[in-house]
Amino acid sequence: SREDLLAFYRAFRDDLAKDPRSTFASTAPYISLQIYHHASVRLPAVRPLSLYTFPAAYTGRRESDVLVSKRNILLWDLAPLLQLFAKINAQPWQFIGADDLYRQGLHSWQDWADLRAAVYFPYDWLQTMTFYDWLAMALPTFVPDSPFYGYAWGTNSQDAWKVALPENDTPAVPYPYHYGDWLDLEGRAHWWSLTDFQVLPGLARFSSVGDLLSQLASREALHELSGQLRQAHAERLVNAAPFWRADGLTCLPLRVR
């Protein structure tokens, strides 16, 4: 209910966020802005590093295989659709989902990193872990360049997050549009521009299937993208280290002599 949400936001702002034993962060600035709108709490954005994928690293040895994020959207499956476009245009690429790799007995992170590239289609919950796993391995990652994905029932729900603390003093400049206002087309484009699909370096964006097929053609370009992803990941690792170091110290028990 509205009252329950407001009670939670107040408890989060007044108790949990101020407790020196607690540390909170979001996975992206996009999410931090949403939390600030509702609870007036400023959270640092610390992107996932996916270090558990180490030592897997991009090779592109499977030159024809392109991984597709496995999310059936409504009643259609993306990998077969892309495969049909490739066949019609006489392109050699084989678009495969993660579950298809599993059925082939390819279970490791390195199996993913050996593919030519990957195509990530955002879905209802933006900023999910698979996306960051691919970036950690420097797997050339393509995302559709369309604010259409700002219409997300999970992250940008019209119905789920309707209340905010009345004490909220969020300035208008960093929050000019409400993320749940689906009738505001300019606002959709604004929030899409704040996602990591738009702001992180090294990602390849495509405007059509033809554009995607064209960009997949150059091995040199793919390896250049991989290098950019690797450098960007190293920079995020360095930038995140102070946060995780401080968080680890917070978790240590105090010893009184």
Grade residue 179 by pLDDT with cuts at 50, 70 and 90.
Answer: confident
Report the range of poorest mean pLDDT among 155-159, 168-172, 250-254.
168-172
Q: Determine what percent of the chain is predicted with pLDDT higher than 90.
A: 51
pLDDT of 173 over the 60 cut: no
Residue range 166-183: average pLDDT?
70
* Reduced 3-state DSSP string for the chain: CHHHHHHHHHHHHHHHCCCCCCCCCECCHHHHHHHHHHHCCCCCECCCCCHHHCCCCCCCCEEEEEEECCCCECCECHHHHHHHHHHHCCCCCEEEEHHHHHHCCCCCHHHHHCEEEEECCCCCCCCCHHHHHHHHCCCCEEEECCHHHHCCCCCCCCCCCCCCCCCCCCCCCCCCCCCCCCCCHHHHHHHHHCCHHHHCCCCEEECCHHHHHHHCCCHHHHHHHHHHHHHHHHHHHHHHHHHHHHHHHHHCCCCCC
Distance CA 149, CA 254 (A): 46
Question: Domains, the chain, ranges and CATH?
Answer: 2-45 (no CATH), 53-232 (3.40.50)
Q: Determine what percent of the chain is predicted with pLDDT higher than 70.
A: 88
Q: What is the mean pLDDT of the chain?
A: 87
Contact 36, 6 (CB under 8 A): no
φ, ψ of residue 45 in degrees (nearest 5):
-95, 115
Comparing CA positions, the residue from 112, 99, 120, 105 lying closest to residue 138 is: 112
Residue range 16-27: average pLDDT?
90
pLDDT digits (tens, 9 = 90+) for 215-248: 999 999 999 999 999 999 999 999 999 998 888 7
pLDDT of 6 over the 60 cut: yes
Claim: this prediction has a pTM higher than 0.85: yes
Per-residue confidence (pLDDT) for residue 21, from 0 to 100: 82
- For residues 41 and 179, which has the higher predicted lDDT (pLDDT)? 41
Per-residue confidence (pLDDT) for residue 114, from 0 to 100: 97
Residue 237 in tokens: 């690792």
Residue range 173-200: average pLDDT?
84
Comparing CA positions, the residue from 82, 57, 97, 83 lying closest to residue 144 is: 82
Report the range of poorest mean pLDDT among 117-121, 140-144, 191-195, 247-251.
247-251
pLDDT digits (tens, 9 = 90+) for 57-112: 999 999 999 999 866 555 568 889 999 999 999 999 999 988 888 888 888 999 99
Distance CA 174, CA 135 (A): 27
- For residues 49 and 159, which has the higher predicted lDDT (pLDDT)? 49
Distance CA 44, CA 239 (A): 12
Per-residue confidence (pLDDT) for residue 184, from 0 to 100: 85
